[in-house]
Amino acid sequence: MIEEKHPIHQVLVPLSLSVIVLYILRGSTVADPDLWGYMTFGRLFWDSRTFPYQDIFTYLPTHDRWIYHEWLTGVVLYPIYKFTGGVGLIVLRDLVAVATLGFLYLAARIRKSSRASVLLWHLLVAPFFLKIGFGTVLRAQIFTYLFIAVTIYLLERSRQKGQWFLLPILVPIQIVWCNLHGGFLSGLGIIAIYIVGEAFSRRTWWPYLLVFLLSVLATLINPYGVDYWTYLFYAVTLPRAEITEWASIVTAYVQHTMSLVNIIWYVALGILSLRILVKARWREITPLMILSGTFLLGIQHVRHMVFFPMLVAVYLPELFQPYMEDMQTKLANVLIWLKEKAPVAFVISRRMSTFFIAIVIFLFCIFLGSSSLSLMIPSQEKEQGQIAYFPTGALEYIKRNYSSGNILTEFAWGEYLIWNLGPQMKVGLDGRYETVYQDHVANQYIDYIKGKENGFLSAYAHDLVLFPPDRPPVASLRSRPDWKVAYEDKDSILFTKVRR
């Protein structure tokens, strides 16, 4: 068998993973719509030097208290953007992606998988979850992906090596995590599965229970106290049928927000994983529960499709070990034959590993140098294949002609507008959604943009309306005498209210 401790192998894997990240994310520098909401909160926090508990960016009815579960993300991102621009955000996104892959790699290695086996599975699954999870710049979810990888690594290190002293690290992680993103619930869920799985397996389980209880208590260290959990219960049980990433993969395909290729890949990975598990007669209850749960979660909600391939990269490489060992044995036999029968060819083959790593280093430098560090804010739909675009032309028109007012806008554009126009120009509605807006207001808005004449337009003091041209309310607005077109381009149309 090829010696795993060869220094070339130790350098090759992390370099290869870094090349994977840079190659996949090289052109993915489109600003995410939620980015502007984070930074708006961050700007308000740093400029006011007080913690914002009341929303000042909308004219629609809001909750009495603004519980913004991603507040720390905004507090972190705003100064980075202020002093480095989009470059700092892109670099941060890429570093988090590399670190996430790194901890998944370490977790798989703790389970005694070979470097070659782990790298093979990373090559299989990383392109999918990097594209889905890190495809824009940037969302608070990336911190959840990183902390899930760290959590699995610490849990597996304790489970495989009995290093229980590492588990308390999860408690301060939860403090940071719960203030960055609500996905900390997934971390608590994973710990809970370890408790149940290890108890059923008759293995040591009480340290997981202890760290779970401490982690839950640690989440109370937030600006909102117990009210944060009240909000989370409300948010988790809230129907979100109109938000595409909360749809099932079937619904997403019907709505043309998820490609058939991605769905086939996800289902095929599930089938492949099941076949490998059955063939290996795997009986580890804890990993089986986690893989089954995350696969079904991904079927139910598009935004959760990232978790299953991440965890497959941790648990399955060890089951592929016999195949890798067989391949390595055959390769070793070939090298022995070459050494005996063709010594010159043997020397060349031994040098090839050094040459290969030189190629990887070269590619790493090329990708690093060619990676775009310019934050894209596309003004047109489907420009360069991006998944978001912004009404930049309408924004400039509004800046030139209005100093204040209320603007009813597309859901995905609201946070971009409050970043550029707020709080002088107020919006209704935006991606902060349930953190700010009352349920009945959000439901009225959703019905209205679907084309239902429900009195929403006359119920509130809208001064401007900004939508994509294909939105159902646009046709109605064009025919109304109390509204007129103020600005129009290919991908946005702005109406202003006629004052009498």
In a domain, 237, yes or no: yes
pLDDT of residue 339: 58
pLDDT of residue 2: 39
pTM over 0.85: yes
Range of the domain at 313: 7-30+85-321
In a domain, 78, yes or no: no
pLDDT in tens, the chain (500 residues): 334 445 555 555 666 666 667 667 767 888 999 999 999 999 999 999 889 999 999 999 999 999 999 999 999 999 999 999 999 999 899 889 989 988 999 999 998 888 778 888 888 888 888 888 898 888 999 999 999 999 999 999 999 988 899 999 999 999 999 999 999 999 999 999 999 999 999 999 999 999 999 999 999 999 999 999 999 988 888 776 567 777 888 888 887 778 888 899 999 999 988 888 888 888 889 999 999 999 999 998 888 899 999 999 999 988 877 665 555 565 555 556 555 655 655 455 555 556 666 666 666 565 555 556 788 888 876 654 445 789 999 999 999 999 899 999 999 999 999 999 989 999 988 999 889 999 899 999 999 998 888 889 999 999 999 999 989 999 999 999 999 999 999 889 999 998 76
pLDDT of residue 330: 57
185 vs 144, 190, 431, CA distance in Å? 9, 9, 21
In a domain, 411, yes or no: yes
In a domain, 59, yes or no: no
pLDDT of residue 319: 82
Q: In terms of domains, do 255 and 152 share one?
A: yes
pLDDT of residue 1: 37
pLDDT of residue 475: 92
Q: In terms of domains, do 312 and 455 share one?
A: no
In a domain, 222, yes or no: yes
Q: In terms of domains, do 279 and 427 share one?
A: no
Question: What residues contact 50, with CB distance under 8 A and at least 6 apart?
Answer: none
Give the end of a domain, one of 321, 349, 380: 321
Q: Are 460 and 60 in contact (CB under 8 A)?
A: yes
Q: In terms of domains, do 313 and 396 share one?
A: no
Give the end of a domain, one of 300, 321, 342: 321
In a domain, 36, yes or no: no
Q: In terms of domains, do 253 and 114 share one?
A: yes
Tokens of 112: 């005694």
pLDDT of residue 98: 87
Give the end of a domain, one of 305, 321, 337: 321
Q: In terms of domains, do 299 and 441 share one?
A: no
Which residue, among 321, 326, 297, has the nearest Cα to 309 in the 3D structure?
A: 297
List b or e across 127-161, with b for residues whose CB sees 16 or more CB atoms inside 10 angstroms: bbbbebbbbbbbbbbbbbbbbbbbbbbbbbbbbee
pLDDT of residue 295: 94
pLDDT of residue 415: 96
Tally of domains in the chain: 2
H-assigned helices in 134-205: 141-161, 170-180, 184-200
Q: How many helices (H) and strands (E) does the chain have?
A: 21, 5
pLDDT of residue 357: 60
